[in-house]
Amino acid sequence: MNPFVQRAKKTIQKYVMLQPGERVVVGVSGGADSMALLHVLWELRRDFRLSLVVAHLDHGLRPEGQAERSFVRKASAQLGIPFISRKVDVREKQKEQRLTLQEAAREVRYSFLLEAAKIHQATKIALGH
C-alpha cells in the first residue's frame, strides 16, 4: 500500500470516519481532489469492506461539463464502481430562489448527493473538498 493511502487509512481509523461494510457515495467532479479521493477509497475498499457508488453532477455552467462526465463515467467503469450522474441548470435555481450562484450550486449538489445516497442506501457521502 502506498504511503498516501496508508496515511488516509490511519486517519479514517483514528477519526472513525468509516465503519466496515458501509456503502459510500463518492462525489466526483473529475478534478484532482475528487479523483484522488475516489482512488484512495477504491484502494481501501477491501480493508473496510466498502461498497462504493460514484455520483457526478454537471452544474450546467461550463462547456467542459459533458467531457468531465464522460471522464468520470469511464474511470468508474474501469474501477467497476456504479455511476450515477445528473445535469442541472444551476442558474435557473439561482434565479428562482434569489441565491448567489455559489449558494445555488451548493444546494443543488448536496440535494443530488443526498438523493444518490438514499437511492443506493448509502450511509456515508465522501467529498474531496
- Segment 46-77, tens digit of pLDDT: 999 999 999 999 999 999 999 999 999 999 99
**pLDDT of residue 1 exceeding 90:** no
What is the Cα–Cα distance from 44 to 125, expressed in whole angstroms?
Answer: 15
Its pTM stands at 0.94
Q: CA 99, CA 123: separation in Å to the nearest integer?
A: 29
CB 82 within 8 Å of CB 120: yes
Separate counts of helices (H) and strands (E) for the chain: 5, 4
Q: Domains of the chain, with CATH numbers?
A: 3-10+26-126 (3.40.50.620)
